[in-house]
Amino acid sequence: DLKEAQQKAQLSGLPQDAQAAKDLDDKCTRFEKKLYDLELTRNIALQTGPQIRLMQSSDTEMAQKIQSTIVNTIPLWKSQMVIALGIEHSAQAAKAQREVSDMTNELLKKNAQKLKTATIENAKELERGVVDIETLKQTNAELISTLDEVVKIQSEGREKRRIAEAELGQIEDQLKNKLLETASYSQGSRQS
């Protein structure tokens, strides 16, 4: 239990207990982050179902609309064209047919393009990971840089301590020599 580990570390004051409490706290934090990531993934999965149903519903309605157009509108157009052919000359009928075909082709092209775009975007999002690889590369590089910096600082600290120890030895020798010199001078003064 984290609270117990923290209390133990506070009571004992031992570095290993403090490290154990820190390690446990880090594990708890990682676990909480993993739970959060899983919750996000679950939420995305829950949203996917309604999105698919919405697309299916839209497709079904479009199919029904096309069927209705075929059943209702096309016969109406045919009868109107027969009347128009009877009244107008064949060039007008050809023009009307061409305009209908152009409009239908344009509609089909636009819908095909929209479907392609929507499908590609959906596929991209579905194939994308929870975390981008670039993000992981950056965080990894930062961690490596941090570790390198820590090693450098520790190395510099060791070198400074080594130099300081040597200087402390010199200081101690100087003091010892001065004390011996002073003691010799004092003895010489007393003997005279």
The string of pLDDT tens digits covering residues 147-163 is 999 999 999 999 999 99
The string of pLDDT tens digits covering residues 21-78 is 989 988 998 999 999 999 998 888 888 888 888 889 899 998 998 888 888 887 887 8
User: For residue 135, what are its two tokens?
Assistant: 């993000």
pLDDT bucket at 183, cuts 50 / 70 / 90: confident
Angle at 111 between CA 99 and CA 95, to 5 degrees: 5
**Tokens 């950056």 belong to which residue?**
138
